[in-house]
Structure 1
Amino acid sequence: MTRVVSIYLPDLATDRVRRTDPSIPPEQAIAVIAKSGSKRWVSAADDAARRAGVRAGMPAAKAQAIFRNLMLVDADPAADAAALRRIALWALSVYSPIVAIDGIDGIVMDTEGADHLQGGEEPMLTRVANQFRAKGLTARVAVADTRGAAHACARAISREIVIVPRGVTVKAVENLPVSLLRLPEKIVGDLRTLGFQSVGELANTARAPLALRFGPEIGRRLDQMFGRVSEPIDPIRDPEQVEVSRAFAEPIGAAETIDKYVGRLVVQLVGELQKKGLGVRRTDLIVEKVDGTRQAIRAGTAKPARDVTWLTKLFRDRTEKIEPGFGIEKLTLVVVMSEPLEEEQKSSSLVEEETSDITPLIDILGNRGQRVYRVAPVASDVPERSVARTAPAVDEIEGSWLHHWRRPVRLLDRPDHITAIALLPDHPPRSITWRGRKHNVKRADGPERVFGEWWKRDSEFDAVRDYFVIENEIGERYWIFRSGDGIDPETGSHKWFIHGIFA
């Protein structure tokens, strides 16, 4: 079943102003002013302005009277629309093969078959909200079975993330206002005059009188919201994207036929890429069905690729997920992300050259939703900051760890508190207790003193850690440390932690 995500950007206009001019203080209230002849009114206000009582639709003069320090900016609908388009294209490359602009303040995307690449719906929506917040954009994100339900919930519920479980669309939207049905303002006003306030009230009213007075639009929007009628999402496309497609006079549906035409499309796509000197990093297969619905499959590669055999395999490994329904009338391959790729000279030797390239394995794991990465060294004395995740197929990593002391093969995500019996300040523990298990220390080496990075954090100006390598009675070796120098409480809490495990 299709799942649709709606991303609502309530403060797009004011957020765009802040991103355009980073010098604007965070506490500065902003209102966007629209003009028509001699009339000037507030078309958008940020959170600080709203808290002061400024509202959209309010005359500009009244807004200034309410809040003397209000910053007024002329509305620029073209710039807002361009910003929304850039956001949609970014979401297309990151989250889903099917993304479209939704009105003037949001985007919508079909995430069926793509959410597993983000770890599921909740992690995906959390990541979306966090990334928008990091970019200085206010966003509310909702996922539901239908586009209409997701659109309404994102705009009606004040939570940052809303997940409508499968099969409960009616219950989730029945109490929402009729204004969220995406009907013309004139119809919404007339419905309120007649006493209709919620979607549920409208849905439980006989259709014939409504259709006679307002036409078929109300029934169509209700059916779309409840999933009785499909509402395909027409995906946004960048004119610079490489794209090849095949339309069929007679719909196809057999798995063998789908694979055959996918292979032919890959050949055409590679030909276009060769002309441009590009290799694919992320490619979408868009399946358009007879009933107007779309299904998408995304395949990514760790390095730019232009190998017909390998790209065909990546898609054929997943075409069994295609549900042809009453038939497929068009297949499209779209390159969402590409990079320059030069031709490589292959050896003419009759003996196959040994290769240690693990890129194919990375591609397979990545397309199954696994997070694959490499660990690179970082110049830092603090152990948990001395590593960083990088792309799995980057060129050889430069640099290395420079330490006089050995490091454990496994470093815990964060130090784990332990209980230790030790003679302060410089002696290793005689025993430790970790997760309810006591370890008697038979051998130990240390201390290795590690200082805090005061130039990064003021709280680490006097911070000290004393690390020890200890071995218990059965030969298990652990990397532990005491927070502080054992004398001065300013250097740390003097509590003990385990930070790593040796092989």
Structure 2
Amino acid sequence: MARVISVFLPTWPTDRLRRQAGHTAPSGDAPLIVAGRVGNRRLVTGVDAAAAGLGLTVGMSVSKAQALVPGLLVERADPAADLASLERLAFWVLQRLAPVVAVDPPDGIVIDSTGADHLHGGEAAMLEALIGRLTLSGVTARAALADTWGAAHALARHVADPTVLATGPEMLAPLPLSALRLPPAMASALHDLGLACIGDLLGQPRAPLTRRFGPELCRRLDQALGEVAEPIEPLRPEGLIEVRRAFAEPIGAAETIARYIGKLVVQLCAALEERGLGVRRMDLLCTRVDNRVETVRIGLAVPQRDPQRLTRLLHDKIETISPGFGIEIMTLAATLTEPLDARQISTLDATAPDLSGLIDVLANRVGARAIYRAAPVQSDVPERSVRRVPALAEDGGLGWPDHWPRPARLLHRPEPIETMALLPDHPPNWIAWRGVRRRVRRADGPERIFGEWWTRDAEMIAVRDYFRIEDERGERFWIFRAGDGEDRATGSHRWFLHGVFG
């Protein structure tokens, strides 16, 4: 089943202007509008959140807007620049989310995310990450994920706040007719007939509607419901290295698909070698006879152009391709490349084992974010002293602290425990963690860790006293008391368990 994301950018023209201005941009609290000419009239074509909150809307005359809001900032509309910037944003999404991304002008992006959600932690996590990145970039966005482009487009603009997931057409019924991407005159004429929402259309006979309004009305309705296909024409950046194979007769057998994948990979690697490049991300697009595109995205830990390795990774994904009634075009594209120089391999020199092949297999099965290693960070606070880095990332030169032992497993957040101890420097006699009471047989400490005052003011005089303890069953834990045991200003004097020794 296809899954499509529609991203709605309600304030794109003003967001683009603010991003373009950088540090010289006006304050976000200052209302800003974009004005353009429609005939002889000067109308508002875009508003930011501050202007919308003051009652200004698209289509209002600029003179009226200035009369309502003294000191209103007005910029000239530039639809060409808006579209060009929207395309650049779509290319950014293409590199990070899914192989099929297209512009949905004037204020949106459409993404075919079929089969890509598992690489991002699920559909909800994928939408949340996408909206979060756009928000951090200064772009106001809402997004909806549905089975069709039409449904996702409608939900993103009329329901999502900021995201919504849909699995059927029932959410479309209460939406206004304008959500079907109908011409304004057609939506107004339908409203005059007493049809106010999409649900009012579902039970109507098609023939009278087609005779009066033409085929556009029923076509848009069927596209939203999934009765008629609506292919997405993906963006392709200039200079993209890709190879293509069209078939006189559609193919569908897994063995045939695998054979042609191997041929395309060899051609792609030859093109990469001519340019001295290796591929880091590769997209396979299979266009079916019904215009639906099945996609496979492969990521690599390091640049590669080994045909055998790339072919094997793509073959592992053949089971995710639904050929339908047949595939008529296969396209293989290197969407992310890096320089890769030829190296001479010597059997005499001892070299470290190459783990990139294993990492590539695992990352393409469970997602790249699930494959990582821990790297040290310069910080005495335990939860800040480690971070996740890509599995083959270069060593930053920092070593792990060795002046005090650290647990093999550090909890994501310290968990409160019940205990009894003599203040200020004695370890506890017993602890109760997750409903289990444990008597302490051995203990070592305290190790005092001070707060980082340069991080936040609350840590100016905060301290923690850490102890390593061992219970009667030989299990060892890392616990701490918040505070120095004497002054309440240094901490709450509550006890927490922070880690478990292997």
User: By how many angstroms is 1:119 displaced?
Assistant: 1.6
Task: Give the residue type in structure 2 aligned to 1:94.
Answer: R
Q: Does the 8 Å CA contact 1:302/1:362 hold for their aligned counterparts?
A: yes
Residue 121 (structure 1) aligns with: 123
**Separation in 1, partners of 2:224, 2:39:** 39
Q: Does the 8 Å CA contact 1:244/1:334 hold for their aligned counterparts?
A: yes
Q: Does the 8 Å CA contact 1:118/1:369 hold for their aligned counterparts?
A: no
Residue 6 (structure 2) aligns with: 6
Gaps of 5+ in 1: none
Q: Secondary structure at the match of 1:21?
A: helix
User: By how many angstroms is 1:355 displaced?
Assistant: 5.0
Q: Does the 8 Å CA contact 1:432/1:441 hold for their aligned counterparts?
A: yes
Which digits, 9 at most, give the CA deviation of each residue in 1:258-311, with x for residues without a partner?
A: 111110100010111111111111111000111111100111111111111000
Gaps of 5+ in 2: none
**Separation in 1, partners of 2:423, 2:393:** 46
**Separation in 1, partners of 2:329, 2:102:** 19
Q: Does the 8 Å CA contact 1:284/1:297 hold for their aligned counterparts?
A: yes
Match of 1:33 among 29, 32, 35: 35
Which digits, 9 at most, give the CA deviation of each residue in 1:186-222, with x for residues without a partner?
A: 3223222333211122232222222222211111111
User: By how many angstroms is 1:438 displaced?
Assistant: 1.2
**Separation in 1, partners of 2:18, 2:383:** 34
Residue 138 (structure 1) aligns with: 140
Residue 74 (structure 2) aligns with: 72
Q: Does the 8 Å CA contact 1:441/1:471 hold for their aligned counterparts?
A: yes
Instruction: Give the percent of matched residue pairs that are identical in Structure 1 and Structure 2.
Output: 51
Of the structure 1 ranges 8-17 and 259-268, higher mean CA displacement relative to structure 2 is found in 8-17
**Separation in 2, partners of 1:236, 1:194:** 40
Task: Give the residue type in structure 2 aligned to 1:132.
Answer: L
What does 1:285-364 correspond to in 2, within 5 Å?
285-347=284-346, 349=347, 356-364=353-361
Task: Give the residue type in structure 2 aligned to 1:130.
Answer: G
**Separation in 2, partners of 1:95, 1:289:** 22
**Separation in 1, partners of 2:339, 2:30:** 43
CA-based RMSD: 1.6
What does 1:60-459 correspond to in 2, within 5 Å?
60-165=62-167, 168-169=168-169, 171-347=170-346, 349=347, 356-370=353-367, 371-459=370-458
Task: Give the residue type in structure 1 aligned to 2:45.
Answer: S
User: By how many angstroms is 1:43 displaced?
Assistant: 1.1
**Separation in 2, partners of 1:119, 1:402:** 32
1:296–1:44 CA distance, 2 compared to 1 (3 A): same
Q: Does the 8 Å CA contact 2:143/2:160 hold for their aligned counterparts?
A: no
Q: Does the 8 Å CA contact 2:83/2:105 hold for their aligned counterparts?
A: no
Which digits, 9 at most, give the CA deviation of each residue in 1:226-283, with x for residues without a partner?
A: 1111111111110121111101111111211111111010001011111111111111
**Separation in 2, partners of 1:104, 1:223:** 23
Which digits, 9 at most, give the CA deviation of each residue in 1:382-410, with x for residues without a partner?
A: 11001111111123342112342111111
Q: Secondary structure at the match of 2:417?
A: strand
1:112–1:352 CA distance, 2 compared to 1 (3 A): farther
TM (norm. structure 2) is 0.96
**Separation in 2, partners of 1:428, 1:314:** 54
Which digits, 9 at most, give the CA deviation of each residue in 1:12-62, with x for residues without a partner?
A: 112112222343323222211223565322111111111111111112122
User: By how many angstroms is 1:158 displaced?
Assistant: 4.5
**Separation in 1, partners of 2:179, 2:458:** 49
1:336–1:206 CA distance, 2 compared to 1 (3 A): same
**Separation in 2, partners of 1:381, 1:161:** 38
Q: Does the 8 Å CA contact 2:35/2:44 hold for their aligned counterparts?
A: yes
Q: Secondary structure at the match of 2:366?
A: coil
Q: Secondary structure at the match of 1:32?
A: strand
**Separation in 1, partners of 2:408, 2:162:** 39
How many residues end up aligned between the 2 structures? 498
**Separation in 2, partners of 1:353, 1:390:** 26
Residue 501 (structure 2) aligns with: 502
**Separation in 2, partners of 1:324, 1:113:** 14
Which digits, 9 at most, give the CA deviation of each residue in 1:47-89, with x for residues without a partner?
A: 1111111111112122122222322222121221122111111
Residue 19 (structure 1) aligns with: 19
Task: Give the residue type in structure 1 aligned to 2:7.
Answer: I
Task: Give the residue type in structure 1 aligned to 2:212.
Answer: R
**Separation in 2, partners of 1:212, 1:38:** 35
**Separation in 2, partners of 1:494, 1:54:** 54
**Separation in 1, partners of 2:358, 2:177:** 51
**Separation in 1, partners of 2:493, 2:20:** 48
Q: Does the 8 Å CA contact 2:28/2:50 hold for their aligned counterparts?
A: no
**Separation in 1, partners of 2:201, 2:455:** 59
